[in-house]
Amino acid sequence: MRAIEVKGSVDKNRQLHLDEPLPIAGPRSVRIIVLFPGEHEEEEQREPDLDEGTWLRVAANNPAEDIYRQTDGKPFQHPG
């Protein structure tokens, strides 16, 4: 399964609108994970975009199934 990140907004009718077209051909089924500030975060952070630290904290505490381990993959070695 692949993942992409796109930004969007939710309108007053609770409909999701993406800021740009998806880079995949359709029709196709997709799974959507929506990240948004919690109640206390909205008071502290008025911008609709999540900063990197918030995104990482939310992703790290996501109750979704963790399918990767630290032993998966190989370390990246920059040539040169």
- Find, among 79, 68, 80, 57, the residue nearest to 3 by Cα: 68
Over residues 15-31, the mean pLDDT reads: 91
Q: Determine if the pTM surpasses 0.75.
A: no
- Mapped onto helix, strand or coil, the DSSP state of residue 8 is strand
Query: What is the distance between the alpha carbons of residues 58 and 62, in angstroms, rounded to a whole number?
Result: 6
Query: What is the distance between the alpha carbons of residues 49 and 45, in angstroms, rounded to a whole number?
Result: 9
On the CB side of 1, CA atoms within 13 Å amount to 7
Q: How do residues 28-58 score in pLDDT, each as one tens digit? A: 998 888 888 777 665 555 555 667 787 777 7
Q: Nearest 5°: CA angle at 33, between 17 and 2?
A: 105
Q: Report the pLDDT value the prediction gives residue 16, as an integer from 0 to 100.
A: 93
Q: Report the pLDDT value the prediction gives residue 64, as an integer from 0 to 100.
A: 66
The domain ranges of the chain are 8-60
